[in-house]
Chains A and B, each alone.
Chain A
């Protein structure tokens, strides 16, 4: 068995499809409420009928405004009150008031019926209007439409128990309302009786008349009313869903717009970056080209300016090339004054003492390169070998000088304060360095050009190198020593003598000879010791060291009268 359709559903069918049976069903459901209310207000059955017809006519016109959650009973009740009030305002109301009073007196048949509730009737509608709508609706459904508590609960969307509590609570409030108006005896029972008494159904003929008239009502026409009725016909959740649905479309569209513009913006920035990168690359290329252009323009200008000089250089080069080629001819073994080159047998190269004199690496570089016909790379490699050799010798020479007060090589005089100045024997170190030099040079130059250099000549070169470093006639293989001897006498001024190797030496001379003279000149002692040291084969550097020490001793033993 299907559930009876709700008022909302019936009105919806009436509005949408013009279902007049549905509207008649609504009228049938609420006719008692409307008629009873109208009758109570007008106290005239005809007027009540008229009011009821007007109320349902109004409902037909405004049916589209009702939603599933709206209380039709409450609306009908209010509308009935308004219609009845309107009716009462007219001329007819005044005219019939007196008659009604008389008729009312006749209708009160028993004293019981004139009990307390009759006094309450004029205030009943005021009391109903004082309630909240859901309470008013509950009472109207319960008493004027004779619905069970379960049906009341269904209409109100609550349980049967809740509906009962709501009806009871409403009656309690009605009772309180009456009591506040001075009806101290008004109880809930009296209020209930008042409702029951006034819940007068319309007479059958009146009901048939109203229902018949209701079948003639047509739903209001209008383009927007259908839509309005649909909208109003929605539940809260549906309404929210509809609103969200309505709102979501432009939002979605706008959202898509935002995303599309963001995508476009990203794509544009990507393009911009790519273009910027390309611009930088091309700009860099442009800068390089500009630099190249500048270089080329300068080169062209230089070429223009140097054209004559270059031509002259090229001519000279060709001349030299021809000279060199002529010298390479087998029959060209003769001196040519006009040539820039000389042709010499390889066997004579070693006799060409090109590296004599003060040896330096640069001098060696130039001469060895020219004599051996080395290309720059070969010359650089050869010079590196020489540099390594000289570095080794230099280090050995730096460590060579020493000073001591004892000697195994010299016979130092007794009773003297002696200081021995020497230079170490460097034989093993120098021979080792020389072996490395020769081995490396032979490897670098090749046997043929190494033969042209002549190892003996290199050895002599080395000897000269050692000589210039400080070993004049002194054997660098054995080293050597000299000693300065200070004699302090009791009754004479101090003296100094010098001792060399092989029993050589000087006699004692006054120590004051070594006092530094005024004006930066050399002291007689300095010249004296210089001759001796030089005669021993030492270089001046050693003589200087000896002189410094003896001068210090002279100052140390200096008497005031020596100054």
Chain B
């Protein structure tokens, strides 16, 4: 009997272990089946995606073949596709020139620049004083003015300056002393005369240089006149002689004066500074010395060398 119990007990333990292992094996089998199902599903999806990739690769190849090749000048072409050159900013014009391979190192003795740069710049185009009609070498070089053109331009300017000088001498006004101010000379504004002179002048110049260079030359000349030489008849030009209490010598104020906007020094400055309003060069070619002499004042010391 004991033996039977022993056998049954051993077999029961074995059976239980068998059942446990069997359960585990079944569990593994189920998981395996699930994994196999997942793997199969994933494999099918992979195959589908690979198929899609192949199809899309072919389409991308076709698209690349159909799209025209990008030009190495694409950026420049894009710049010019919506604007002509003149419509571009100076920066883009510079980029375009650089893109064309035109740089300051393209040639030893010259440089190619956008014309827009010239119209945004300033050049001392004419001499000063009695040489105010003579073109400077820089202006001749920048605007490519040949000797014949130079002759025509300078002739036109000389004629215009002569007209302005004659007009200034005829229209200059003198007013007497007031407090510390000894005398004031005024060349009045006359826009009609100024326009007439300008029209005549630039019409002549345009005949010689053409419109583009004439416009540039007018810009350079006008800026010089406004800031340095005075603009005859365009503004009112004034010149004053002063004495300052407690100080020796003559003092002056001068320049163009439009009331709120003026180019006159606020306080009288010593004549020895040397500045002489250019518009009055036509009236007093001798400068301060001639003014003093005409007014019967003491001689003026020559301007100090700077």
Nearest chain-B residue to A313 (Cβ)? B81
A261 interfacial by beta-carbon distance below 8 Å: yes
- Please determine whether A345 and B141 come into contact, CB atoms closer than 8 angstroms: yes
Q: How far is the CA of A182 from the CA of B120 in the complex (A)?
A: 154
B202 to chain A, nearest CB (A): 16
B110 interfacial by beta-carbon distance below 8 Å: yes
Q: Which of A254, A312, A344, A452 contacts B21 (CB 8 A)?
A: A254
- Please determine whether B98 and A320 come into contact, CB atoms closer than 8 angstroms: no
B297 interfacial by beta-carbon distance below 8 Å: no
Q: Binary interface profile of A, 253-267, with partner B (CB < 8 Å = 1, else 0)? A: 011011001101100
A359 interfacial by beta-carbon distance below 8 Å: no
Q: How far is the CA of A159 from the CA of B129 in the complex (A)?
A: 156
B245 to chain A, nearest CB (A): 11
B241 to chain A, nearest CB (A): 18
Q: How far is the CA of A337 from the CA of B115 in the complex (A)?
A: 10
Binds A, one of B23-31, B155-163, B166-174, B285-293: B23-31
A204 interfacial by beta-carbon distance below 8 Å: no
A395 to chain B, nearest CB (A): 28
Specify which chain A residues have a CB less than 8 angstroms from the CB of B91 in the assembled complex.
365-366, 369-370
| Dominant secondary structure of chain A at its interface with chain B | helix
Q: Contacts A316-B85, A366-B91, A372-B111 known; A240 to B117 CB distance under 8 Å?
A: no
Specify which chain A residues have a CB less than 8 angstroms from the CB of B67 in the assembled complex.
296, 299-300, 303
Specify which chain A residues have a CB less than 8 angstroms from the CB of B93 in the assembled complex.
340, 370
Nearest chain-B residue to A324 (Cβ)? B102
Nearest chain-A residue to B13 (Cβ)? A247
Q: Which of B3, B52, B113 contacts A341 (CB 8 A)?
A: B113
- Please determine whether A369 and B94 come into contact, CB atoms closer than 8 angstroms: yes
- Please determine whether A335 and B210 come into contact, CB atoms closer than 8 angstroms: yes
Q: Which of B66, B144, B267 contacts A343 (CB 8 A)?
A: B144
Q: How far is the CA of A374 from the CA of B82 in the complex (A)?
A: 24
Q: How far is the CA of A372 from the CA of B136 in the complex (A)?
A: 22
- Please determine whether B98 and A354 come into contact, CB atoms closer than 8 angstroms: no
- Please determine whether A261 and B85 come into contact, CB atoms closer than 8 angstroms: no
Q: Binary interface profile of A, 342-374, with partner B (CB < 8 Å = 1, else 0)? A: 111111110111101000000001110111111
Beyond the given A310-B78, A337-B210, A340-B85, please list 12 additional residue pairs across the A-B interface where CB-CB is below 8 A: A232-B3, A257-B21, A282-B46, A283-B49, A299-B67, A314-B77, A339-B115, A344-B113, A349-B111, A354-B117, A373-B97, A373-B104
Q: What are 30 of the A-B contact pairs (CB < 8 Å)?
A: A239-B6, A243-B14, A257-B22, A257-B25, A258-B21, A264-B32, A265-B31, A299-B67, A300-B67, A317-B77, A317-B96, A317-B100, A321-B100, A324-B100, A327-B112, A328-B106, A328-B107, A333-B110, A340-B86, A342-B113, A351-B136, A351-B141, A366-B90, A370-B94, A370-B97, A370-B113, A370-B117, A371-B113, A374-B94, A374-B98
B residues neighboring A (CB under 8 Å): 2-3, 6-7, 10-11, 13-15, 17-18, 21-22, 24-25, 28-29, 31-32, 35-36, 38-39, 42-43, 45-46, 49-50, 52-53, 56-57, 59-60, 63-64, 66-68, 71, 73, 76-82, 84-86, 89-91, 93-98, 100, 102-118, 120-124, 136-139, 141-146, 209-213, 266-267
A residues neighboring B (CB under 8 Å): 67, 232, 236, 239-240, 243-244, 246-248, 250-251, 254-255, 257-258, 261-262, 264-265, 268-269, 271-272, 275-276, 278-279, 282-283, 285-286, 289-290, 292-293, 296-297, 299-300, 303, 306, 309-310, 312-314, 316-317, 320-321, 324, 327-328, 333-335, 337, 339-349, 351-354, 356, 365-367, 369-376, 379, 446, 448-449, 452, 531, 534-535
